[in-house]
Structure 1
Amino acid sequence: MMPNSVNTNVGAMIALQNLNMTNSDLMTVQNRINTGKKIASAKDNGAIWAIAQNQRATSGSLNAVKDSLQRSQSTVDVAIAGGEAVSDLLLQMKEKALAASDSSLDTASRTALNEDFKALRDQIGKSVSNATFNGVNMINSGGTTIAALANDDGSSKLTVSAQDLSLGSTILGGGSGLTATSSIGTQTTAGAMITTIGTAIGAVSTALSKLGTGSKSIGAHLTFINKLQDSIDAGVGNLVDADLAKESARLTSLQTKQQLGVQALSIANSSSSGLLSLFRG
């Protein structure tokens, strides 16, 4: 047992230590409530904070991946729209060629059919050249192959190959197929053009199928990236977010404890005044 002394008040020292600990805990709880985080900086828990920062970096990088996928999907979809226009024009051109192959046509009718045919042919060129998104065209001559980002470090790409649907391209039959000068001015050329366009229709359909598959793959991967980012963000929240209901209850408890600590310190400080009674006569 410590002797009674006016120089050293052990009870007050212990009460002050406890009050300081309570105040420190109270400050921590208030900070958690203010920020909504139980780990707001590296000094709170260095290891967990570092893990959370790494995952935040991954989540942030996935924003760039989503942008790339969305931009690529739009580019492919525009290319598909252009390709479908080409396919529709080919169907009309085949109809014109079939009509022009009729030997009973007079010159005026054949000329009119040929003019319609050439207008449709030229429209193919316009449709192809205008199928551009953000400066990228996948179906023109020398079209751009899409290579969208697929992961957060750029080491994986999602590729959709360009499909040249321009007049004179391999898909439209090359030099002996549908070109910028093709016509149906005679019965013979009209008959040959029926086969040429029929082959081109099949080839364009195959090209569109490849573009459609590519767009679907990009869309599926975009959905996955969205879910992955949500899961990462939720994981970071599990690591660093405070349980506000729990912290609120703890705040009330610590406030009560703080008041009791102040009273205990007051009582301990007043105990030394009792020594004065020993010197009263």
Structure 2
Amino acid sequence: MANSINTNRGALVALQTLNATNKALETTQNRVNTGLKVSSAKDNGAIFAIATSQRAEMGAQDAVKQSLQRGQSIVDVALAAGETVVDGLTELKSLAVAIQDSVAGSDTETKLMADFDAIAKEVHSALAGATFDGVNLFKTGTLIEVSTNTSGGKFTLKAAADPAAATGLAFGGTATPATGVWAPAGTVAAKRTAYTAASVDTALNGFTTVLADFGTKSKSLDRQATFVGKLQDSLETGIGNLVDADLAKESARLTALQTKQQLGVQALSIANSSSSILLGLFR
């Protein structure tokens, strides 16, 4: 091959090799710095698009988890109030038995009925206070739902048509579930007719049925929340499999490329010196 000072083929080849090494080194350094083998669409458009879509799905799952946690809090508050109500109804049954055993018109009857009235008011007050984030499961007229997935799935905590739990706890008086106000029957005779063990049993059975339904729903929400957590973990692992760099391999590759870069620089230097050697032919 003819020697020429105008065209240094060796230098051109060395420069191309060095440029390729520098480009590979830049890619490897970016992977080491970011921990990602696909950090932008330029690295791999298809994988970047998939990873971006799945990250958006993970963000949406966070919203679902928050919705489920809100639902759990609503139900937990209702169950806590429900325990107070059950304790009150249990005490009311004892009072009802004592009232029926007392002499009509006696001072004992009056005191027992006063106790019954006080506890009944506490029961209704507890029901009205069982509110979380403006939601009360013991009231009626409002559909209460929470999201269970990103596709629009809903879990119903309370249907709009469900009656208020307080309506079965009137004991001959007037209950207003919306405000928690309860007014006892107006006459002693009406109270004696309403304040019986049988009426308390009826109220207790109806109320515990409501609590049992809430308990079942609480468990369902807990299972849904656990599933969403596992789903998020799976999505995160899947995204990692697509875009995460193997840092052990990249570290070894970085060392090799740095050595190759140094050799490339030396090779280019040698190739560039070939032109000066031609000067010796003219001495």
TM norm structure 2: 0.90
What are the superposed Cα offsets for residues 231-272 of structure 1, whole Å, 9 maximum, x if unpaired?
101111111111111111111000000000001011111112
Runs of 4+ in structure 1 off by over 6 angstroms are: 173-179
Matched AA of 2:57? T
Task: Summarize the alignment of residues 257-276 of structure 1 with structure 2, pairs less than 5 Å apart.
Answer: 257-276=260-279
Contact 1:83 1:165 in 2 (8 A): no
Contact 2:93 2:200 in 1 (8 A): yes
1:191–1:27 Cα change, 3 Å = closer
Contact 2:29 2:254 in 1 (8 A): yes
Q: 1:228 aligns with which of 208, 223, 231?
A: 231
Q: Distance in 2 between matches of 1:175 and 1:191?
A: 5
Deviates more, 1:28-37 or 1:187-196: 187-196
Contact 1:39 1:241 in 2 (8 A): yes
Matched AA of 1:260? L
1:202 corresponds to 2:199: no
CA drift at 1:24? 0.6
Matched AA of 1:251? L
What are the superposed Cα offsets for residues 8-27 of structure 1, whole Å, 9 maximum, x if unpaired?
01000000000000001111
CA drift at 1:273? 1.9
Contact 1:66 1:222 in 2 (8 A): yes
Matched AA of 1:247? E
1:184–1:226 Cα change, 3 Å = farther
- Which SS does the other structure have where 1:137 is aligned? coil
- Which residue is 1:249 aligned to? 252
Q: Distance in 2 between matches of 1:260 and 1:91?
A: 89
Matched AA of 2:246? D
CA drift at 1:84? 2.0
1:160 corresponds to 2:179: no
Matched AA of 1:27? E
1:59 corresponds to 2:66: no
Contiguous gaps of at least 5 residues in structure 2: 176-181
Deviates more, 1:47-56 or 1:180-189: 180-189
Determine what percentage of the aligned residue pairs are the same residue: 51
CA drift at 1:119? 0.4
Contact 2:172 2:185 in 1 (8 A): no
Matched AA of 1:157? K
Matched AA of 2:75? V
Contact 1:118 1:182 in 2 (8 A): no
Task: Summarize the alignment of residues 90-129 of structure 1 with structure 2, pairs less than 5 Å apart.
Answer: 90-104=89-103, 107-129=106-128
Matched AA of 2:197? I
Q: 1:237 aligns with which of 234, 240, 245?
A: 240
Q: RMSD value over aligned CA atoms?
A: 2.3
- Which SS does the other structure have where 1:160 is aligned? strand
Contiguous gaps of at least 5 residues in structure 1: none
Q: Distance in 1 between matches of 2:196 and 2:85?
A: 16
Deviates more, 1:265-274 or 1:50-59: 265-274
Matched AA of 1:150? T
1:32 corresponds to 2:35: no
1:103–1:259 Cα change, 3 Å = closer
